[in-house]
Copies of this chain bind each other. A is one copy, B any other.
């Protein structure tokens, strides 16, 4: 039975890295299925992602690579298996339902451990798929307490990633730091246009001819994290706000699903406020 691995490397760039890395794989008899690399010239940083077929001795490979790569290299050797995710929602269903359908039919490459909502609107739907739904209301409590309540629930799941599937509360820097580069959000606009609340309303009022959606990794600045995927859809003068929201939902769910696929397959590197994606 085959079990593949992904090897991810981020380090200072220098000559011979590809030869060194691929030589190490060859030396240990590993077959490289795919190897992709990128040098970010501004930062002189080298990024690589390899898929290796079959089993491997992770410790051995780690030390072998650490020895040949520049000091400070980040090396991750990851068996290809499903990640655990928890999905956060508010009231809108379209991203959640898209993900749960993929999960139910075994197309998501992730285990959905639980759904957390600050309203219970999506509880009945979630439970159709025998996934725990946790209501954590934000009402009558501080954001700090609200987040602590969420963290308490997350504690029992220890998910690899949090997916904000139209979760309409802003998370504090403290919360985000806990899940550094592990929170994926879908923003309902073509960022950086229409940052903040009510982007469709703003887009409608501005009279744009395209609307879009952006999936990004959450950092401490609202709607400012590294962008993973963006898509757009055309609109016309006779589309009213409701038409635009409806059309936007189609894009939002497509964008989030595409971004999440990249995340769950360990294809994304973050460099400053940008992503490198080995698709």
Closest to A225 in B: B207
Query: In the complex the two chains form, is B104's CB within 8 Å of A125's CB?
Result: yes
Tier of interface size on chain A: 35 or more
Q: A209-B229, A230-B208 are in contact. Are A26 and B32 (CB under 8 A)?
A: no
Nearest CB of chain B from residue A273's CB, rounded to whole Å: 6
Interfacial chain B residues near A230, Cβ < 8 Å? 208-210
Contact with B along A5-26 (1 / 0, CB 8 A): 0000000000110111011011
The reply to whether the CB of A250 lies closer than 8 angstroms to some CB of chain B is: yes
Q: How far, in whole Å, are A209 and B32 apart by their CA atoms in the complex?
A: 26
In contact, A207 and B273 (Cβ under 8 angstroms):
yes
Cβ–Cβ < 8 Å partners of A272 in chain B: 207
Q: Does A172 contact B (CB under 8 A)?
A: no
What separation, in Å, do the CA atoms of A250 and B254 have in the docked complex?
9
Residue of B with least CB distance to A203: B192
**A27 CB to nearest chain B CB (Å):** 8
Known: A18-B32, A274-B237. A97 touches B93 (CB 8 A): no
Determine whether the beta carbon of A38 is less than 8 Å from that of B210.
no
Q: How far is the CA of A36 from the CA of B237 in the complex (A)?
A: 13
The listed residue (B98, B227, B237) touching A277 by CB distance below 8 A is B237
A interface residues, Cβ below 8 angstroms from B: 15-16, 18-20, 22-23, 25-26, 29, 31-39, 41, 93-94, 97-98, 101, 104-105, 107, 125, 128-129, 190-194, 205-210, 212, 226-232, 236-238, 240, 246, 250, 254, 272-277
